[in-house]
Amino acid sequence: MEMAKLCFSLLLLLQLCMQPAASHSTVKFLPGFQGPLPFELETGYVGVGESEEAQLFYYFVKSEKNPKEDPLLLWLTGGPGCSAFSGLAYEIGPVNFNTVEYNGSLPTLRLNPYSWTKEASILFVDSPVGTGFSYARTPHASQTGDFKQVHHLDQFLRKWLMDHPEFISNPFYVGGDSYSGITVPALVQRISNENEEDIKPLINLQGYILGNPRTDMVVEQNSQIPFAHGMGLISNELYELTSGVEKSHILEPHCQFFSPKPRASSRNRRSLNVNEQSQEFLDPEPTFPPIGCRSYGYLLARYWDNDHNVRKALHVRQGGGHTAPEYRPAECYAMFQRWINHDPL
Ligand SMILES: *[C@@H]1O[C@H](CO)[C@@H](O)[C@H](O)[C@H]1NC(C)=O
């Protein structure tokens, strides 16, 4: 067998062998944050799909007020494909990055004084499968779409609640922004239908909340700037100059878009090779935008989330890695030994 094929088979087998069960861990410390976390963080995986072939990663932050009574909010970030971590660290979660110049050291975290977890317990879910630290156990399971995502989230929620029965009776909300404008209403509709069908556990659904939601592309895109102008948010002068405006944050400087997910930013990349497809394979070190740009902070997540100690602290599952024997030497050796001796694998 060719070496490459062997490695690949070993890797696949290793991934199949690592049977994941629903699991969660309490996280008391995070690299880059000084001292023990002053809030309760749990991370874990919930398997969804018929044979749990999609493993969804989540961060659960308990309400800092009265978790027994406070609402439970399931939060989705947009994309589709933006990590739940971006909702946690850049939007409504308990920590933010210290946005200082990156010098090669692990980016550091500080408390977010505006964390919504002061009012509610929040479940941040890496969804759809393939987002953030969520992963698929089969190539088929990695295919996704809006309906499948909604179905998976519904399963996720039910399983998570069964595993955390103390939260079943709390008022329940779904929230999200951006592309979640498509998936959140569909998920809420589904939960509501299932409640009417008396499917257990009954979910104490109270409502949903959306920020800058995607609804209808044409109407939305054509009305953003006229709406902002009409509401007096931008001056006549600025309105006339809208071609240079940062559309997502109209009062901020116009900066290059940057997402830590390399493919999402490929359209803004410069490359000597103009072939679009080959750009997908390029993953150079990103160039930093000026530090006054909001996108500067986004880059820090790339360094933080890719850090080994961070992943360890979050109890993220590490796969076989690219070269399986390097990442899982004991398992690989045991498998090789069986293979070379004609024993059953
Ligand atoms: C980077 O800066 C921080 C202070 O902001 C410092 O603690 C750290 O040692 C620096 N790292 C390097 C590699 O210079």
Which domains does the chain carry?
24-212 (3.40.50.1820), 248-312 (no CATH)
CB 138 within 8 A of CB 53: yes
Closest-lying ligand 1 atom to the alpha carbon of residue 108: 5
How many Å lie between the centroid of ligand 1 and the Cα of residue 259?
A: 24
For 143-194, how does the pLDDT look when each residue is reduced to its tens digit (9 = 90+)?
999 999 999 999 999 999 999 999 999 999 999 999 999 999 999 999 999 9
State yes or no: pLDDT of 271 exceeds 80: no
For 137-153, how does the pLDDT look when each residue is reduced to its tens digit (9 = 90+)?
999 999 999 999 999 99
Choice among 40-44, 93-97, 123-127, 248-252 with the minimum mean pLDDT: 248-252
Q: What percent of the chain has pLDDT over 70?
A: 80
Measured distance CA(315)–CA(197) in Å, rounded: 37
Reduced to 3 states, what is the DSSP secondary structure of residue 12?
Answer: helix
Reduced to 3 states, what is the DSSP secondary structure of residue 175?
Answer: strand
How many Å lie between the centroid of ligand 1 and the Cα of residue 103?
A: 6
Position 73, amino acid: L
State yes or no: pLDDT of 253 exceeds 90: no
Does residue 20 or residue 41 have the better pLDDT?
Answer: 41
CB 84 within 8 A of CB 49: no
Reduced to 3 states, what is the DSSP secondary structure of residue 219?
Answer: helix
For 46-71, how does the pLDDT look when each residue is reduced to its tens digit (9 = 90+)?
999 999 999 999 999 999 999 999 99
Place of tokens 């976390």: 37
- DSSP tag of 106: P
- DSSP tag of 165: G
Does residue 279 or residue 89 have the better pLDDT?
Answer: 89
Measured distance CA(191)–CA(130) in Å, rounded: 23
CB 74 within 8 A of CB 90: no
**Which residues' Cβ are closer than 6 Å to ligand 1?**
100, 103-105
Pocket test for ligand 1, best of 105, 106, 108, 300 (most atoms within 8 A of CB): 105
- DSSP tag of 171: -
Average pLDDT of the residues in 253-269: 52
Pocket test for ligand 1, best of 103, 108, 109, 303 (most atoms within 8 A of CB): 103
